[in-house]
């Protein structure tokens, strides 16, 4: 189907939304509640656009394209509407950006700045939701007063993780993201809800106060906890890993991590972590170079094989290696050593 968006002709696919077609064409439409891995929600309304022949603004994230549709994504009317919507959200949002851990990567903060929302004088004065902050688990801090009810966290928990640990309870002004019976969060702690939260409502306890986003360097790598090969991004400050986020593009996990990949990174900075090979000499382990350790291993394997035979040697691999590394290891044991005594810790 041919669609014209901001005077640009686009070939759109059937079933595609206006937002999806625009993004694929490189056009920017702001949003707070949309995520490409989640169902279309239309809750924040910030993605409103004008469509020819319609006398009202429509949400681009929930409106499917139609042949010949003419769309405008930026106009004085649209900008004023988005500004009003942002001010309505901010009217029930704490104004503590200076101390919020999300500062610098908060979607609401960025859009408020871009559209000139009035944050000094609240034009919509009235009651504000006030909830206590929950930090009773060791991974996630939940500040309900900052929640904008975009439902990203509930949708990723239900649609991606298929856990359903949280949902929106009550209605209207009293609506709130909560667990069953509004109890303390007790789930798999995959951290996907934290990663999709656009504001400071969900933050990582382990990273609190350790560095702003503009102070950290980012390094893409592969999670070392199993052989799946999930892509992760290490956030580094002063040569120390302070946070881990999933790598969404060109990764096998498509932006999802387990509790280990997301939160169990403190071993990287542990002072007792082994960083060099050790060889036992006189009943004590001493540090050695990699060349020395490899030469020693080759020498001992040859000696044992010649004296006791190939079946006296066994190999145990690890789930923290990649599939390719495990394949090479078992091939080395079978073809190089000449034994089938090879096993893998994950088999148990």
- Evaluate whether residue 294 is within a structural domain: yes
- Evaluate whether residue 321 is within a structural domain: yes
Last residue of a domain, one of 74, 95, 117: 74
- Give the number of domains in the chain: 3
pLDDT at 110: 96
Task: With a cut of 70, say whether residue 348 has pLDDT above it.
Answer: no
Last residue of a domain, one of 74, 102, 126: 74
* pLDDT tens profile 286-310: 999 999 999 999 999 999 999 999 9
DSSP letter at 173 equals G
CA angle, 324 as apex, 322 and 328 as ends, to 5°? 120
- Evaluate whether residue 33 is within a structural domain: yes
pLDDT at 273: 87
Share of the chain above pLDDT 90, in %: 82
Q: How far is CA 51 from CA 46, 61, 144, 298, in A?
A: 15, 13, 35, 72
Assign 318 a pLDDT band (cuts: 50, 70, 90): confident
Task: With a cut of 90, say whether residue 228 has pLDDT above it.
Answer: no
**Do 243 and 219 sit in the same domain of this protein?**
yes
Which residue from 116, 19, 1 is spatially nearest to 63, judged by alpha carbons?
19
* pLDDT tens profile 202-219: 999 999 999 999 999 999
pLDDT at 149: 96
- Evaluate whether residue 56 is within a structural domain: yes
pLDDT at 226: 78
* pLDDT tens profile 5-52: 999 999 999 899 999 999 999 999 999 999 999 999 999 999 999 999
**Do 13 and 40 sit in the same domain of this protein?**
yes
- Evaluate whether residue 222 is within a structural domain: yes
**Do 229 and 255 sit in the same domain of this protein?**
yes
* 118 contact partners, CB below 8 Å, separation of at least 6: 87
DSSP 78-99: HHHHHHHHHHHHHTTS---TTT
**Do 244 and 294 sit in the same domain of this protein?**
no
Q: What is the CATH number of the domain that holds 250?
A: 2.20.25.90
Specify the pTM: 0.85
Distance CA 190, CA 266 (A): 16
**Do 268 and 283 sit in the same domain of this protein?**
no
Last residue of a domain, one of 53, 74, 95: 74
CA angle, 96 as apex, 93 and 101 as ends, to 5°? 105
- Evaluate whether residue 204 is within a structural domain: no
3-state helix, strand, coil in the chain (%, to 5): 30, 20, 50
- Evaluate whether residue 41 is within a structural domain: yes
Give the domain range for residue 305. 278-347
Task: With a cut of 80, say whether residue 190 has pLDDT above it.
Answer: yes
pLDDT at 319: 76
- Evaluate whether residue 323 is within a structural domain: yes
Mean pLDDT of all residues in 223-239: 89
**Do 16 and 69 sit in the same domain of this protein?**
yes
pLDDT at 323: 80
**Do 284 and 343 sit in the same domain of this protein?**
yes
Average pLDDT over the chain, rounded to an integer = 93
Q: What is the CATH number of the domain that holds 30?
A: 3.10.20.740
């Amino acid at each position: 189907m041919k669609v014209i968006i901001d005077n640009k002709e686009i070939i759109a696919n059937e079933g595609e939304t206006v937002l999806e077609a625009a993004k694929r064409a490189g056009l920017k439409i702001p949003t707070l509640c949309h995520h490409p891995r989640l169902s279309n929600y239309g809750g924040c309304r910030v993605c409103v656009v004008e469509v020819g022949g319609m006398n009202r603004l429509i949400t681009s994230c929930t409106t499917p394209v139609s042949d010949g549709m003419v769309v405008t994504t930026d106009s004085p009317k649209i900008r004023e509407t988005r500004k009003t919507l942002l001010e309505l959200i901010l009217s029930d949002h704490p104004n503590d950006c200076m101390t919020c851990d999300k500062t610098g990567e908060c979607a609401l903060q960025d859009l408020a700045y871009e559209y000139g929302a009035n944050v000094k004088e609240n034009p919509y004065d009235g009651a504000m939701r006030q909830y206590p902050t929950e930090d009773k688990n060791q991974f996630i801090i939940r500040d309900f007063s900052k929640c904008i009810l975009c439902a990203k966290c509930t949708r990723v928990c239900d649609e991606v993780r298929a856990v359903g640990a949280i949902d929106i309870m009550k209605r209207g002004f009293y609506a709130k993201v909560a667990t069953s019976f509004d109890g303390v969060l007790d789930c798999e702690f995959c951290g996907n809800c934290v990663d999709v939260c656009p504001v400071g409502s969900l933050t990582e306890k382990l990273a609190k106060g350790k560095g702003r986003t503009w102070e950290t360097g980012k390094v893409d790598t592969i999670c070392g906890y199993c052989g799946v090969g999930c892509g992760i991004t290490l956030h580094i400050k002063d040569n120390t890993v302070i946070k881990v986020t999933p790598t969404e593009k060109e990764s096998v996990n498509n932006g999802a991590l387990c509790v280990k990949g997301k939160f169990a990174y403190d071993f990287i900075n542990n002072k007792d972590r082994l960083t060099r090979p050790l060889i036992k000499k006189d009943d004590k382990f001493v540090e050695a170079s990699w060349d020395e350790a490899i030469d020693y291993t080759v020498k001992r394997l040859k000696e044992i094989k010649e004296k006791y035979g190939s079946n006296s040697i066994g190999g145990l691999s690890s789930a923290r290696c990649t599939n390719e590394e495990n394949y090479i290891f078992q091939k080395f044991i079978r073809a190089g050593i000449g034994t089938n005594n090879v096993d893998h810790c994950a088999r148990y």
